[in-house]
Chains A and B, each alone.
Chain A
Amino acid sequence: MSELNKVMVEKYRNDFLKEVEANVEEGNWVKMCMQCGVCSGSCPFGPYWEHPPQELFMMIRAGKREEVLASESMWMCTSCYNCIVRCPRELPITHIMHGLANYAHRLGIAPKMNPTRRFAKLFWENIIKGGRVNELKLSIGLYFMDGFSNGVKKGLEMLPVGLGMFKTGRLNPFGLLSGGKCKGAGDIHKMLKKAKEIENRRKGFAP
C-alpha cells in the first residue's frame, strides 16, 4: 500500500463516497446517478467491463473502495463520450471514469499491468518531454513496454502498418532525433510542475 493510499484510507475511513467526491475529477456527481444503466448499455467496450459505470457508482456508494480502485473497469473507457450524452441525469461519466482511473493510478492501486494504464503513462511522458507527441518514440515505447523480445515480436506484427505510414509520409523515420518539440518546452515543464503541485495541495496529496 502506497503512503498516499494509507493517508486517504485514514482520512476518509468508512466514507468512500466522500473520498471520491473530494479527490476524483467530477466525483461530486457520483451521488446523482439514478441507476438506469443507460451508460453501461451505451459503452462500446461495455461487455469488457467487469463493473460498468452504473455498478461502479453503486459500489462507491456501498463503500467498496478496494474493489473499485483496483478494478480494470474504468481503464476500458475509450473516451467516446456516448455515456455523457445519453445520461438522463447528465452525469459527466467519461470524466468520472478518467478521474477514478487517475486517482487509482495516483494511489498506486490501479492494476500494474493494465495496458491502457501503461500506454497512458507512456503517452503523457512522451508529450511533456517536448510539448508535442513524438509518434515514433511513442510507438516504439509501446512495443517495448513488455521487454525487448516482446517488443520485437509486436514490432514485426505491426511492421506492415508502420511501413505503410512511413511510405505515405505519415511516420518520420528520423523522429527519434527530432520532432515533437516546442520552443517553450522549458516553460511547459515549469508550468506542469506547478500545476501538479497545486493539484496535490488541493486534493491533499502533498505530504
Chain B
Amino acid sequence: MADIKIGAYVCKGCGLGERLNTAQLITVAQREGKAQVVREHEFLCSGAGVSMIRQDIEKEGVNHVVIAACSRRAKTEAFGFDNVAISRANLREGVIWVQPDTEEAKEVTQEMAADYVRMGCAEVTKMQAPQTNPSHGNNKRILIVGGGISGMTSAIEAAKAGYEVLLVEKTGALGGWVAKLHKRIPSHEPYADPMETGVPGLGRQIEADKRIKVYLNSTVSRTSGAPGQFSVDISKESGGTSTENIGSIIMASGFELYDVNKLPELGGGKSPDVVDQAGLEKLARAANGAPIKRPSDGKEIKSVVFVQCAGQRDPSGKHLAYCSGHCCNTSIKQAMYFKDSNPNVDTMVIYTDLRTPGNGEDFYRSAQRKGVTFIKGTVSEVVPGAELQVKFKDLILNDDAVAKADLVVLATGMVANSGVDIDAAEGAPNIQGQGAGSEAKTVSILNLTYRQGKDLPLLKHGFNDSHFICFPYETRRTGIYSCGPVRRPMDAQQAIEDATGAALKAIQAAENAALGRAAHPRSGDLSFPTFRREGCTQCKRCTVECPFGAIDEDEQRYPQFNESRCRRCGTCMGACPVRVISFENYSVDTVGYQLKSVDMPDQFSEKPRILVLACENDAYPALDMAAMNKIQYSAFARVIPVRCLGSVNTIWINDALTSGYDGVVLMGCQKGENYQCHFVKGSEIAQTRMSKIDDTLKGMSLEVERVRTCEVAITDIQRAPKIINEMAETIQKIGLSPMKF
C-alpha cells in the first residue's frame, strides 16, 4: 500500500464555510485520515477548484481523492477524475442541510462533518481505481428469438441502428399471431376502425435488409457465455445446427391462447360455432370483407355474442387469474368486422369490466357508434345448438337473461411462451395461478447452460420477470432482454413499442460489454467482483444468491465469475460468510473501515451513534432530497451508501455493534411481487439475512430494537428522515449501548 497517496479537499462553498470549521476538518483529514495533500477551496466544483485537484493528481501523484463537499450524487462530472479512487464525504446534503443552523447545534454538526471526513479517508484507503474487466468479449451481433411482430420489430430496429441481427423463428414463416389476424387494433388517430396488420411490409423490410439473417423452422438449442461473448446453437427442425457468436439476446417468444377446450361450460369444444378470438380471425380472413359465415353450416352470421374474460380473471384458481389486456379491444375490433360489412348484424359484447388500454377508449366509442351493444354481465353458460344460447346475468339490471346467437366468440387469455420454470420444485405445477389445468412446460426457449437454469426466471403467472414497474425488458439474465407478451400480456401495438425498447437495450448491453463495463443499473461501472480462492469454502451462497445468474462453478466447484453477466450489485459479497469477494472500489473493507473510523463518544456522553446503511438507488437519494427540502434528522446518524442492501455483509452489523454503535438502520427497496429493487432480489435476500440478526444481538446481550431493516422508496423524503429519528428515540428509551470501549 506504499503507493497510496491521498488528497483530501474540503469545500467551503454552498454555506459549508459558514456552518463548519473547515480548518478543523483539514486537520482531521491530515492527522486521522492520513491524507498527504490537504486543501480547502472556496468553491471546489468551480473550474479553479477542479483544476487544483487535477494538478495534484498530475504533479503531486495523488491517486486517492477525498472530496469533502456535497453528496456523491451531485457534481459527478466536475469530480469525475479518471484512474483515481474517489470517495465523497457528504457535508452538504449529509450534514449542514439536515442540521439546524443554531448555536446549540454547532458542536454536533461539526462532529458529524468530521466523522464524514474520517469515513471518506478510511474508505478511500481501501479502494483501488477500478480497472476494466479483462475478460470481456466484443461481439455486437443481436440474436432475436421469436419471429412474431415483436421479434420482427426488434430485428428491424436493431438493423436500422446498424447492428447485425439473427432472427430465429420456430415455424416456417415470420409474423406470428399478428400474421394470422384479419386486421389489428388501430394504433393511430382517430382510433375508429380496425387497421391492416402491417406484417407483409415488415416481412419485406426484413427480406431486403442484408444485416438481418433469418432462421426459419429453427430453435435455440444451446446458449452459453455472457454479453459480448454468447455462443448460441441454432438447430433446424430438419436437422443440422449452426453455432453463432452473439453480443446480446432478445427473447420475443410470444404467447399461446388459453385452451378453449378447458371451458366446456362456455361451449368450448362443444360446438364448432363457439370459437376463440383466433378462430374468429380465421373466419374473418376467409370472408375477407364479405359477410362472415359460421363454421357449422356455412350460414351467414346474423348475430354474434362476445364473451369477455373467458377463463381469465378467474379467482377460483381453475383458469387464468389475470387479465390479458388486449381482449376487450380485440373483441371490439372483431365486432366491427361484422358491423362494417353489415350494420344489421347483432353484435353483443358481454363484459364485467371493459378494459381498453391505450387509446382504446376512442375505439370503444367508435364501436358504440357503429351499434355494437355492450352488456355488463357475467356469462354462466353457452348452450350449443343450431342457435346458441348465451345465459348471463345482467349486472346492471340484476337480471338473468339469455342472448341467442349464431356464433359465440370466447375471449380467452394469453399464456406466455416463457420456457421452463427454473424456480419450480420438481413435480410441482410450474406456474402459479395459471390454473391446475395447464401443463407444465417442458420445452426450453433459450437452453441456457447457466447453473441457475435453462430459461429466464419468471415473476408470476408464467411471464418473464422483466422488472415491469421501473425497467421494462430488463431481465435477471444480463444481456438477455424480453419483450412482447412473453413478459406481460399486451396487444400488437404495445409489443411493437416493447420490441423497439428491447432492441435499444440489447444494443446498449453489447456496447457496454465490449468496453468491459456494467449494464443497467450501474451502467458504465468498470469494477467487477473477484474472490480470494484460498479463502473460499465452496459454500455456493454467492452462486445461489446472485440475482443475475452471473456465477457458475468451475470443475473444482469454486465459483466462476462471468464478469460480463455481473451487474455489480455486490449481493455475492454480502452473501459470502468468509468475506473473500470484493470489488476494487467496493468491499467488506471499504465499508467496514468507514464505520470503524467514526469517532465513538463514550457511554456517558449522551451522544449515541446510529449507523445507516442506505441503498444508493432509492434510500440515499431520498435522504439527499430530504436534505434539499431541509428536513432535519438526528445528528447522531452516520449514513453510508451501499450498492444494494443485498451487498450488506452481516459482519458490518457485527462490527458496528461491537464498535459501540447504539443502533443500525438498513434502508433498502421494496421487495416481493411489486419489487422496486434495482437488482431484483438484492433487497429481499438482505432482509432474509437480517431476519437472523436477532440471535446475534441476543448473543451480545443487546436489545433487538437496535437493528432495524426497512423498505424505503425514492419518494419517501419525509419518511426516511423519520425512520432515523425513530431509531434515535428508541435509543433514548433503551439507553446507549454498553459496547463502547
A–B proximity contact (CB within 8 A)? yes
By a beta-carbon cutoff of 8 Å, the part of chain A in contact with chain B is 17, 31-32, 34-35, 54-55, 58-59, 61-62, 89
Q: Which are the 6 A-B pairs with shortest beta-carbon distances?
A: A58-B396, A32-B368, A31-B368, A35-B376, A61-B373, A58-B397
A62 to B346, CA, bound (A): 12
Chain B residues closer than 8 Å to A34, beta-carbon distance: 354, 364, 368, 374
Establish whether residues B396 and A32, one from each chain, have CB atoms under 8 Å apart when the complex forms.
no
B residues 397-448 near A (Cβ < 8 Å) are 397, 399, 401
- Cβ contacts B364-380/A at 8 Å (1 or 0 each): 11001101011110000
Q: B157: CB under 8 A from chain A?
A: no
Shortest CB–CB separation between residue A23 and chain B, in angstroms?
17
Interface size on B, residues (CB 8 A): 15
Establish whether residues A31 and B396, one from each chain, have CB atoms under 8 Å apart when the complex forms.
no
Chain A residues closer than 8 Å to B397, beta-carbon distance: 55, 58-59, 62
A-B contacts besides A35-B374, A54-B396, A58-B375, 9 pairs, CB < 8 Å:
A31-B369, A32-B368, A34-B368, A58-B397, A59-B397, A61-B373, A62-B394, A62-B399, A89-B365
B residues 683-726 near A (Cβ < 8 Å) are none
A62 to B365, CA, bound (A): 19
- Interface centre among B365, B368, B373, B399, by most A CB within 10 Å? B368
Chain A residues closer than 8 Å to B401, beta-carbon distance: 62
Shortest CB–CB separation between residue B449 and chain A, in angstroms?
52
Chain A residues closer than 8 Å to B375, beta-carbon distance: 58, 61-62
A61 to B399, CA, bound (A): 14
- Interface centre among A58, A59, A89, by most B CB within 10 Å? A58
In chain A, what residue has the closest Cβ to B344?
A15
A59 to B396, CA, bound (A): 9
Chain A residues closer than 8 Å to B364, beta-carbon distance: 34
A54 to B396, CA, bound (A): 8
Contact sample, A vs B, 11 pairs, CB 8 Å cutoff: A31-B369, A32-B365, A34-B354, A35-B376, A35-B396, A55-B396, A58-B397, A61-B373, A62-B375, A62-B394, A62-B397
Shortest CB–CB separation between residue A140 and chain B, in angstroms?
42
A58 to B393, CA, bound (A): 13
Establish whether residues B371 and A31, one from each chain, have CB atoms under 8 Å apart when the complex forms.
yes
In chain A, what residue has the closest Cβ to B396?
A58
Chain A residues closer than 8 Å to B354, beta-carbon distance: 34
Shortest CB–CB separation between residue A11 and chain B, in angstroms?
16
A28 to B82, CA, bound (A): 71
In chain A, what residue has the closest Cβ to B351?
A35
Shortest CB–CB separation between residue A12 and chain B, in angstroms?
14
A34 to B371, CA, bound (A): 13
Chain B residues closer than 8 Å to A31, beta-carbon distance: 368-369, 371, 373
A17 to B373, CA, bound (A): 10
Chain A residues closer than 8 Å to B365, beta-carbon distance: 32, 89
Establish whether residues B368 and A58, one from each chain, have CB atoms under 8 Å apart when the complex forms.
no
Shortest CB–CB separation between residue A70 and chain B, in angstroms?
16
A32 to B367, CA, bound (A): 9
A65 to B228, CA, bound (A): 70
Shortest CB–CB separation between residue A151 and chain B, in angstroms?
40
In chain A, what residue has the closest Cβ to B348?
A61
Chain B residues closer than 8 Å to A17, beta-carbon distance: 373
A35 to B374, CA, bound (A): 9
B residues 643-672 near A (Cβ < 8 Å) are none
